[in-house]
Amino acid sequence: MTYGRRHYLTQQILVRLAYAGPRSSETREFLKASLRFVVGMILVFFGLVATASGAPQTPPTPPSEAGSPKDATTGEFWYRRGTDAAFETAPVVETRVRFDITGVIARATVTQRFKNPLNVWIEGVYVFPLPEQAAVDHLRMRAGDRVIEGQIREKEKARQEFERAAAEGKRTTLVEQQRANLFTSRVANLGPLEELEVEIEYQQTLELEEGRVRLRFPLAMTPRYVPAIDSSLVQLASLKSGSGVVVPALYQPNCDNTLVQPPFLPTGIKTNPVSIEVNLNAGFEVASLTSDTHALEVEPRSAHEFAARLRDEVAPADRDFEISWKALPGVMPQSSIATGKGPDGTYALITLFPPSGGAVWSVRIPREVTFVIDTSGSMAGASMEQAKKAVVLAIQRLDASDSFNLIEFNSVTSSLFPHPVPASPDNLKRAVAFAESLAAEGGTEMLEALLAALASPPPAHGEEDSASVRQVIFLTDGAVSNEDQLFSVIKAKLGRARLFPVGIGSAPNRHFMTKAAEFGRGTFTFISDVNAVEKQMTELYTKIESPVLSDIQVSFDGIAAEKAEVWPRRAPDLYLGEPVVVGARFDETPSAIRVTGRRDGQPFETVAPFEQAQSGRGINVLWARRKIQSLLDGVHEGADPEAVRAQVVSLGLTHHLVTKHTSLVAVDLTPVRSAEEPMESLMVPVNSPYGSAAGPLPQSATPATLLLLQGLAATLAAWALYVAGRRL
Amino acid sequence: MKRRVLQIASLVFICWGVAQMARGAYIHSKASLAQALIRRAWSHPGTKGGPPKPWPWADTTPVARLGAPMYRVDLIVLEGGSGRTLAFGPGHVTGTARPGESGNVVIAGHRDTHFRFLKDLEKGDLLLVEGRDRDLIDYKVVKMDVVDHTRADLLRDFGDDRLTLITCYPFDALVPGGPLRYVVTAIRAPSPRA
């Protein structure tokens, strides 16, 4: 009862046992474990040397229990509702994607086939990623031979309409945007063992670089980390801001932090198959068409027309799809203009490569480079290896006149040096050792790391410091859910620094990367494959060691300035090989487009005639998507959120677009389910991204037994060889 | 000639074999030795700043003592669930309730060293936790589950006083790094000694 008595009892119960038992029982256990395998030792040895490096394991069977997932096969799997419920099958979504590409614009049709494997009525909820620039403008629901077209509504109204129809037993579909690149489709009143198709269409611009066009389509999402509650962020921010700096009202509770995440399947189980078809009209002669992520079957139709599909007809949705085509030297046009009519006028999408001057600085400007490495749990596995390799490569490229620092973050942030240090051989050696010792675990509290990286350096070098270039290279999978908050921090704290996000893993959050690069006035790089690290990091380095094009202005000849509405209003800085891409709406057709700017302090200008414009479909949608994005970004710069919301709703309704504030909803008027029959709501589980390893639960196994067995087997083999040798 | 090749091969195998065995043995001896050092730190009366560090360069401190009398298990729990900590002892997962406090106390341990006894635990078994205040709390095992490593919800507060023990699953898998975890849930029970 009293402290003393209980303490004494503790000693009685625990201490006596402590010295009698555990050591010997541990040893016994260990010996038993070793003996159990001794018979198959040689086999184990030869088998395991090959797999010891962490080859995927088949998921072992959990303890026998009613309905345990023993018979799980691909396409049908088991999961638990609640911790105590029995295992059961879950709905599946099969996806077919068709891309029709003309020039730099892709029209995609994504068909999701919902399958209900259960004997009850369900509502299926499927969370899926789309490219960050995707403008979803079409929804069709197909049940049997009935086809229902989706209507655009304000988000809240769409949800009410969906829920009413669901309650009345009508088949209905709702497509909502959760994040710029994360969507949800919900299908209600899917009957027992029934199937239903949801067809979504969207428009997308492709990524361009000198001589190459790239299409990226995300098929997986990395589980996003939802950071600690906002109050702690407020605290953290005020701590970090230092003396005399008032933290702006950026950290106010933000409803954007709510995020619906699907259940993720164990890494060994794959579901939700995808098939992909690409019809390409490049508009120039193509030298090669390749994919770094999937094996393709390519059928050329002419010098610039191709059809491609996945070699394996279906692939699991566990990694992003990427396809790129290269132009024959000199045939890729330096500018392209696609135009079409839409509500309120004529629209155009303009892509223009500024003339490339001298590729690199004649005089090397000293740089201060801060590397920030995400070592959160979601990076475990292949991602962590990619990140380490990328950092080590980057460190070795530093010049003696440069200075650098290394920051690691997961739940906490720690930096190698208190502030950037000269890139001396000694410091470089320490940095490489530090990078190689990194291991992934814990949460993704990115805010503190960003603040640390962007913090102004102490004025140690005095005047000359302002001449150097500050660059922050940020390696992450972007598995965060507080994007908006982070963007605000980047915007507010950037100063002289430039932020270069590097996307790592098989399913990085591309929306976060591209916007972080935009707010950070840098450029983004994606590394999808560990073998591509060297190539892609070298490309990034060439870019950031070259002069930047800044103060870019887009204007039109032949019409008054107010007759054209260009988005984004202010073009971002451009790095080597990057084009200017803008959307425009005209009341009158201009004669030419003019781009001006400065390169390394020197002005430049380039002009493209408008008559080369080609007509295309859905150009207004691309323009509206750009305008919406710019308007939403404006909130970070102090625009009134309510006014922005109203504008976004109006744009969404006019252009039939799914946005943050508008959704597409389809309702079949005939009820299929009677009121007495119940309906359950189920999330469709999704695959863990390919190559990912650990989750939030600690990694808790050692290779001790494996090592001992390998040792025993090798010793035995040595003995056998020795004997054999003596007999010769 | 052939004989020479075999001899060299034999030598290579023996060297590699001994090295592997040494590495395996090192993991086990580190686990046992560290527990002894940590135990000493724990039984130290302690200063104002809590118990001393078990060894001067340790990056963790003991936070609790975990006992399973029926299995002759008595372990000192360290702060943090990282690989560095788990090599020396079970780790209290940072962010969950502190041992001795009410809420969900989550402790992780290696399946092949400290937490091997988890596979023998049965429903109704008694677990004891001694927090920094030296008060002893009884827990009764209520269930054992195999879950995927992504189940972060197991770390949350369930509104009751519980102890969650986590280790890798399956217990006999040779290669570490699998996706499954074995989770033992125990609910606080009134102490018979009170």
CA-nearest of A546, A555, A488, A535 to A515 is: A488
- Contact: B86, A696; criterion CB under 8 Å: no
Q: How many CB atoms lie within 10 A of CB A496?
A: 13
What average pLDDT does the segment A100-119 reach?
89
Average pLDDT over residues A198-204: 93
* CA–CA separation, A126 and A175 (whole Å): 10
State yes or no: pLDDT of A116 exceeds 70: yes
Query: For residue A247, what pLDDT band results from cuts at 50, 70 and 90?
Result: very low
Mutate to test the interface with B, among A68, A441, A702 (most CBs of B within 10 A): A702
Query: What CATH number matches the domain at A89-222+260-319+655-683, 3.30.559, 2.60.98, 2.120.10, 2.60.40?
Result: 2.60.40
Predicted pLDDT at A622: 92
CA–CA dist A726, A708 (Å, integer): 27
pLDDT tens, A336-353?
A: 888 888 888 889 998 888
Going by pLDDT thresholds of 50, 70 and 90, the confidence category of residue A14 is very low
Q: Averaging pLDDT over each range in A377-381, A472-476, A531-535, B24-28, which range is the top one?
A: A472-476
Residues of A (333-352) whose Cβ lies below 8 Å from B:
none
Which pLDDT score is estimated for B38?
Answer: 78
Report whether pLDDT(A159) > 80: yes
Q: Do A30 and B149 touch (CB under 8 A)?
A: no
Amino acid, res. A339: T
Q: Which two tokens stand for residue A86?
A: 């029995």
DSSP state of B97: P
Torsion of CA B117, B119, B122, B123, to 10 degrees: 110
- pLDDT, residue A679, reads 81
Q: How confident is the model at residue A362 (pLDDT cuts 50, 70, 90)?
A: low
- Tokens for A34? 């070793």
The runs of H, that is alpha helices, within A455-595 are 483-493, 510-519, 533-544
- For chain B, which domains are there? 6-189 (2.40.260.10)
Q: Lowest mean pLDDT of A276-285, A417-426, A692-701, B54-63, name the range.
A: A692-701
Residues from chain B that touch A62, judged by Cβ atoms under 8 A, are: 145-146, 169, 180
Residue A23 pLDDT: 39
∠ at Cα A304 (A299, A308), nearest 5°? 30
A65 — phi, psi (to 5°)? -165, 160
* Chain A residues 662-721 with a CB less than 8 Å from chain B: 688, 693-719, 721
Q: What is the pLDDT of residue A22?
A: 38
* pLDDT at residue A715 in the model: 87
Active site residue B110: yes
Task: Determine the distance in angstroms separating the CA of A40 from the nearest CA of chain B, rounded to an integer.
Answer: 13
A635: exposed, middle or buried (Cβ count in 10 Å: 0-12, 13-18, 19+): middle
For B139-171, how does the pLDDT look when each residue is reduced to its tens digit (9 = 90+)? Answer: 999 988 887 766 666 777 777 889 999 888 777
- Beta bridge partner(s), residue A239: none
Please give the average per-residue pLDDT across A368-393, as a whole number. 84
A88-100 burial: b if 16+ Cβ within 10 Å, else e: ebbbbbbbbbbbe
* Side-chain-side CA neighbours of residue A439 (13 Å): 10
Task: State whether A697 and B147 contact (CB < 8 Å).
Answer: yes
Q: How many CB pairs under 8 A join A and B?
A: 246
The H-or-E segment that residue A647 falls in is: helix A641-655
Rounded-to-integer distance, Cα A81 and Cα A303, Å = 53
Q: Using the predicted structure, report yes or no on whether residue A388 has a pLDDT greater than 50.
A: yes
pLDDT at A649: 95
Encode pLDDT of A290-332 as tens digits.
Answer: 888 888 999 999 888 999 999 887 777 788 898 999 888 877 7
Q: Which of A40-44, A233-237, A271-275, A405-409 has the highest mean pLDDT?
A: A405-409
Mean pLDDT of chain A, nearest integer: 76
If one compares A540 and B53, the residue with the highest pLDDT of the two is A540
The model's pTM: 0.63
Contacts of A44 in chain B (CB under 8 A): 174
How many Å apart are CA A7 and CA B128, to the nearest integer? 13
**How high is the pLDDT of residue B151?**
64
Q: Are strands A614-615 and A335-342 parallel, antiparallel or unpaired?
A: parallel
Sign of the torsion angle spanned by Cα atoms A74, B184, A384, A178: positive
pLDDT at A43 over 50: no
CATH of domain A230-258+365-456+466-544: 3.40.50.410
Q: What is the pLDDT of residue B13?
A: 87
Q: Cβ contacts (< 8 Å) between B23 and chain A: which residues?
A: 707, 711
Q: Which of B2, B5, B10, B26 to mutate to test the interface with A (most CBs of A within 10 A)?
A: B10
Could you say which of B24, B151, B170 has the minimum Cβ distance to residue A704?
B24
Q: Could you give the CA distance from residue B150 to residue B153 in angstroms, rounded to a whole number?
A: 9
Q: Where are the domains of chain A?
A: 3-54+703-727, 89-222+260-319+655-683, 230-258+365-456+466-544
A140 pLDDT more than 70: yes
CA A91 from chain centre, in angstroms, equals 25
Could you report the per-residue pLDDT of A220-241, keeping only the tens digit for each? Answer: 776 666 554 333 333 333 222 2
| pLDDT at residue B177 in the model | 65
- Residue A134's nearest CA partner among A160, A163, A109, A170 is A109
pLDDT band at A175 (very low <50, low <70, confident <90, very high): very high
Q: How does pLDDT run across A611-645, given as a tens digit for each residue?
A: 878 888 889 999 999 999 889 888 877 788 899 99
CA distances from A448 to A255, B60, B132 (A): 20, 22, 30
Render pLDDT for B18-34 as a digit per residue (tens, 0 to 9): 888 888 888 888 778 87
Q: What is the 3-state secondary structure (H, E, C) of A155-189?
A: HHHHHHHHHHHHHCCEEEEEEEEEECCEEEEEEEE
pLDDT (tens digit, 9 = 90+) per residue, A671-717?
A: 888 888 888 777 777 776 676 554 456 666 677 778 888 888 888 88
Using the beta-carbon criterion (under 8 Å), do B178 and A701 form an inter-chain contact? yes
DSSP conformational letter for A718: H
Q: Tell me whether residues B25 and A708 touch, CB distance under 8 A.
A: yes
Max mean pLDDT among A182-186, A196-200, A510-514 falls in: A196-200
pLDDT at position A64 is 33
Cα separation, A73 vs A704, in Å, equals: 32
Type and span of the H or E element at A96:
strand A92-102
Residue B100 has a pLDDT of 82
Q: What's the number of CA atoms in the CB half-sphere (13 Å) around residue A137?
A: 23
Place of tokens 């700096």: A245
Mean pLDDT is lowest, of A56-65, A148-157, A408-417, for A56-65
Q: End-to-end distance of chain A based on CA atoms, in angstroms?
A: 77
The region of weakest confidence among A32-36, A76-80, A114-118, A642-646 is A76-80
A728–B contact, CB cutoff 8 A: yes
The proportion of chain A whose per-residue pLDDT surpasses 90, expressed as a percent, equals 18
